[in-house]
């Protein structure tokens, strides 16, 4: 099994956003405890909302770090999203590179790979894997 990894910058940005939202939420909750409620808006409720926005960013970071972007195993490429997408390498008819994406085209569908969020070493591995399966028109 070969994993095509997300870029470290993407993973770091998800982690930083999670920290940012949670910290802003904690600060707003502390401000609401110190200052009391404002006229029309409770800082505590905004702070809780910020924390609740940060939690999914941590979950996304953990999911992407654990699963990574693509997995290639037994001639099948799997895009690891909430609902995984799969394509068999044997079904690919052509590959088109357009606007930073690789489009793997079959008779029935297109499988789009965003190369801008892939680590550079993993992108080389992906292209080599596609070449191994005689998909050399990239």
Residue 137 resides in a domain: no
For 90, which DSSP code? G
Domain edge (last residue) among 20, 51, 67: 67
pLDDT of residue 32: 80
Same domain, 63 and 75: no
Same domain, 118 and 77: yes
Parallel, antiparallel, or unpaired for β 76-79 and 70-73? antiparallel
Same domain, 74 and 63: no
Nearest alpha carbon to residue 4 among 112, 131, 136, 121: 121
Give the model confidence (pLDDT) of 35-52 as tens digits: 766 665 677 788 889 999
Instruction: Note the pTM of the prediction, 2 decimals.
Output: 0.81
Same domain, 18 and 38: yes
Same domain, 51 and 106: no
Tokens of 22: 């949670």
């Amino acid at each position: 099994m070969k994993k095509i990894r997300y870029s470290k910058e993407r993973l770091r940005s998800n982690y930083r956003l999670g920290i940012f939202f949670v910290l802003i939420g904690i600060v707003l909750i502390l401000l609401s405890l110190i200052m009391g409620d404002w006229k029309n808006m409770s800082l505590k409720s905004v702070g809780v909302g910020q924390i609740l926005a940060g939690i999914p960013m941590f979950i996304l970071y953990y999911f992407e770090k654990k699963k990574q972007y693509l997995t290639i195993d037994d001639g099948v490429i799997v895009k690891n999203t909430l609902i995984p997408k799969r394509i068999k390498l044997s079904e690919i008819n052509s590959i088109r590179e357009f606007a930073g994406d690789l489009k793997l085209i079959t008779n029935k569908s297109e499988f789009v790979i965003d190369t801008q969020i892939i680590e550079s070493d993993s992108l080389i591995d992906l292209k080599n894997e596609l070449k191994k399966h005689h998909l050399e028109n990239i």
